[in-house]
């Protein structure tokens, strides 16, 4: 009887203890150690800076349209993953345009065109510079930098030094009255913007704060301020900051999750001792990649509204070009890299949900490097280049055994690949020619090259159509920023600075280069109608420059007149610069109205 009573008491106690267990931390699925104190931080930083060297790398949905609450047909920002928005300098909602012009935000009614006019402006303090925007229903999100100049003691040299620490600032406005935007939320986090995303009314902001060696004499933990919590600036506690063992630790990464629609809900801010260069975000996970020496480490975080939990890390050989070199599909993470072992080599790796490498292709295209990558379902497309441009079609149906299906070698290269449909790709890049300079065969970059690739037969990819623009030196933001690409309803547009070649008499042994001058002949935007049957049809060349401005271009740079973005609403195309918005009839591209901005 006594024994039974004792067992009953023990059982009750155990159940009581189990019921009092603390809630599981968001990090316990793959726990990380914390910094805890300044002495440990110093030790971690010194060990990291002694052995690690960072390699700095560079930093898309078949159609750019993401239908919002307005059912009117309109374009939107060109993004990597359908349903996940990316910040840009211009946003439209089917009726209004919101744009960054210098240090201001302008709000312009675009539709109907008879009522087109500037209806509002937002100005900021002198030390704030807006960088990108989001629209979410009746909320406008402005993200930018706030600069804080001050002085500090530098113990290494025992002197007084002038420096600035940068803060990323987020402003949220109620724009239900477009003429009078109302500020409803402010958030600032120390560090510069690595990248941002918007999904289901939640903003995800990733910032880096670099740690210079001299800062570790004081507490360098990131500071932040959230209006939902109060007006006081706070600083992250070292015991709340996690670090990645055997990882690069030259700064702090802040991952911020913020509700756009709930101004009273405090933001989630998770801070890690580490660094990042490129990010990829799926609907469930966030990946932060960092290249150090000749390898890339990828950290995986699960995201669910404001819940952020660390899931693990993977490591692959080589460095990452940009966000399009990464992708997630059916639980697998895929990444394309270029490594260097005596010569450049290109690789593709497949990692499982635990970030363990389960499949790989290595040593592709020796001596070349990746210029563009795009993943579409069970296929990957890689552009590598040195003298000619191979397009690789890679089969990922079996993630544990990726294989090259086909390869196409052509002149030039693509910097950006955009799916037209399941059998065709659009490439935007450079035309090239091969010449001999000082006894060495080299590729010389020429104008912009547009290509339609036919991958109907993945074992035999074809270059179906080609269009070239301008001569050597012709430039477009679309070559390095996919957000400058407009692609909607089989219509392509992008900003262009076009040059024409003036051939002089050859002189010197380097005559292949020095005998040609390049003059700017056009600044504006090219608009094409795209067909996989007929290729590229030039619809129009649109410019905001006057003849007088072009004539005096070498005396004064009229940068404000450069077209930055092209958008569309219903049957109208809008070309946007800092000076004006031109409205064009989409049927004939004639200008039907101009709205002056400044």
- The pLDDT of residue 153: 46
Q: In terms of DSSP H, where are the helices of 166-260? A: none
- The pLDDT of residue 19: 39
Neighbours of 284 (CB within 10 A): 10
Give the H or E element holding residue 18: helix 2-19
The span from the CA of 391 to the CA of 379, in Å, is: 13
- Helix (H) and strand (E) counts for the chain? 4, 39
Is residue 175 included in any domain, yes or no?
A: yes
Which range, 48-52, 197-201, 444-448, is most confident? Answer: 197-201
pLDDT in tens, 144-175: 998 766 544 444 433 334 445 589 999 999 99
pLDDT in tens, 547-590: 888 888 877 766 789 999 999 999 999 999 999 999 999 999 99
The span from the CA of 408 to the CA of 391, in Å, is: 5
Nearest to 375 by CA among 429, 321, 313, 411: 321
Is residue 73 included in any domain, yes or no?
A: yes
Q: Which domain holds residue 169?
A: 38-276
Pairing assessment for the beta strands 332-341 and 343-351 based on DSSP bridges: antiparallel
If one counts the domains in the chain, the total is 1
Q: Quick check: 522 pLDDT over 90?
A: yes
Neighbours of 562 (CB within 10 A): 20
Is residue 56 included in any domain, yes or no?
A: yes
- Does residue 598 or residue 267 have the better pLDDT? 267
Place of tokens 């968001």: 26
Q: Quick check: 385 pLDDT over 70?
A: yes
pTM of the prediction? 0.88
Please state the rounded mean pLDDT for residues 374-380. 97
Please state the rounded mean pLDDT for residues 284-306. 94
DSSP secondary structure string for all residues of 421-451: ETTEEEEEEEEEEEEEETTEEEEEEEEEEEE
Q: Quick check: 253 pLDDT over 70?
A: yes
Q: By 3-state DSSP, what share of the chain in percent is helix, strand and coil, each rounded to 5?
A: 10, 55, 35
Of the candidate ranges 54-63, 196-205, 302-311, the one whose mean pLDDT is the lowest: 54-63
- The pLDDT of residue 542: 98
Is residue 561 included in any domain, yes or no?
A: no
Q: Phi first, then psi: what are they for 512, rounded to 5°?
A: -60, -25
pLDDT in tens, 232-252: 999 999 999 998 877 667 789
Distances in whole angstroms, Cα of residue 75 to Cα of each of 62, 465, 586: 12, 25, 13
Please state the rounded mean pLDDT for residues 176-193. 96
The span from the CA of 202 to the CA of 75, in Å, is: 21
Is residue 265 included in any domain, yes or no?
A: yes
Is residue 126 included in any domain, yes or no?
A: yes
Is residue 207 included in any domain, yes or no?
A: yes
Nearest to 430 by CA among 383, 376, 374: 383
Q: Is there a contact between 416 and 322 (Cβ–Cβ < 8 Å)?
A: no
Q: Quick check: 33 pLDDT over 90?
A: no
Is residue 418 included in any domain, yes or no?
A: no
Q: What's the mean pLDDT when you consider all of the chain?
A: 86
- The pLDDT of residue 598: 80
β strands within 191-250, DSSP E: 192-199, 202-210, 223-226, 234-235, 242-243
The span from the CA of 81 to the CA of 282, in Å, is: 7
Please state the rounded mean pLDDT for residues 534-540. 98
């Amino acid at each position: 009887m006594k024994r039974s009573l004792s067992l009953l008491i023990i059982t009750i106690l155990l159940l009581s203890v189990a019921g009092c267990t603390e809630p599981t931390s968001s990090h316990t699925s793959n726990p990380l150690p914390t910094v805890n104190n300044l002495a440990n931080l110093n030790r971690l930083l010194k060990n990291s800076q002694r052995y690690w060297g960072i390699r700095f790398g560079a930093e898309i949905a078949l159609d750019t349209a993401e239908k919002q609450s307005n059912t009117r047909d309109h374009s939107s920002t060109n993004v990597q993953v359908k349903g996940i928005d990316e910040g840009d300098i211009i946003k439209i909602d089917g009726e209004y345009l919101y744009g960054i012009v210098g240090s201001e935000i302008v709000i312009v009614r675009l539709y109907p065109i008879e009522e087109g006019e500037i209806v509002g402006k937002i100005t900021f303090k002198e030390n704030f510079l807006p960088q990108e925007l989001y629209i979410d229903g009746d909320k406008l999100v402005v993200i930018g930098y706030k600069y804080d100049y001050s002085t500090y003691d530098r113990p290494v040299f025992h002197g007084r030094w002038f420096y600035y620490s940068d803060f990323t600032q987020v402003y949220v406005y109620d724009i239900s009255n477009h003429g009078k935007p109302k500020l409803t939320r402010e958030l600032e986090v120390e560090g510069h913007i690595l990248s941002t995303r918007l999904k289901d009314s939640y903003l995800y902001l990733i910032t880096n704060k670099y740690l210079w060696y001299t800062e570790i004499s004081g507490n360098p933990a990131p500071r932040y301020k959230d209006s939902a919590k109060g007006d006081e600036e706070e600083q992250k506690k070292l015991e709340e900051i996690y670090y990645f063992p055997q990882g690069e630790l030259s700064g702090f990464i802040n991952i911020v999750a913020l509700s756009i629609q709930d101004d009273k809900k405090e933001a989630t801010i998770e801070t890690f001792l580490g660094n990042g260069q490129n990010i990829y975000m799926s609907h469930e996970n966030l990946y932060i990649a960092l290249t150090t020496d000749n390898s890339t480490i990828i950290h995986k975080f699960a995201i669910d509204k404001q819940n952020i939990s660390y899931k693990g890390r993977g490591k692959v050989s080589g460095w990452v070009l940009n966000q399009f070199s990464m992708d997630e599909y059916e639980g697998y993470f895929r990444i394309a890299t270029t490594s260097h072992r005596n010569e450049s080599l290109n690789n593709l790796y497949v990692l499982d949900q635990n970030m363990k490498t389960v499949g790989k292709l290595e040593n592709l295209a020796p001596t070349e490097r990746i210029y563009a990558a795009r993943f579409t379902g069970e296929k990957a497309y890689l552009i590598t280049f040195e003298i000619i441009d191979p397009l690789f079609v890679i089969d990922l149906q079996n993630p544990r055994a990726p294989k090259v299906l086909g390869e196409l070698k052509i002149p030039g290269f693509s910097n950006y690949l955009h799916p037209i449909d399941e059998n065709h790709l659009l490439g935007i890049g450079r035309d090239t020619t091969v010449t001999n300079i000082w006894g060495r065969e080299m590729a010389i970059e020429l104008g912009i090259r547009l290509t339609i690739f036919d991958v109907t037969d993945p074992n035999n990819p074809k270059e179906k159509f080609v269009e070239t623009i301008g001569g050597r030196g012709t430039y477009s933001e679309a070559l390095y920023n996919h957000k400058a690409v407009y692609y909607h309803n089989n219509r392509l547009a992008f900003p262009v600075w076009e040059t024409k070649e003036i051939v002089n008499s050859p002189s010197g042994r380097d005559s292949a280069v020095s005998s040609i001058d390049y003059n700017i002949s056009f600044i504006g935007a090219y608009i094409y109608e795209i067909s996989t049957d007929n290729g590229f049809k030039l619809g129009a060349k649109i410019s905001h420059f006057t003849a007088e401005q072009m004539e005096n271009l070498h005396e004064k740079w009229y940068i404000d007149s450069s077209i930055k973005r092209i958008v569309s609403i219903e049957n109208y195309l809008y070309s946007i610069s800092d000076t004006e918005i031109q409205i064009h009839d989409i049927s004939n591209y004639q200008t039907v109205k101009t709205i002056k901005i400044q």
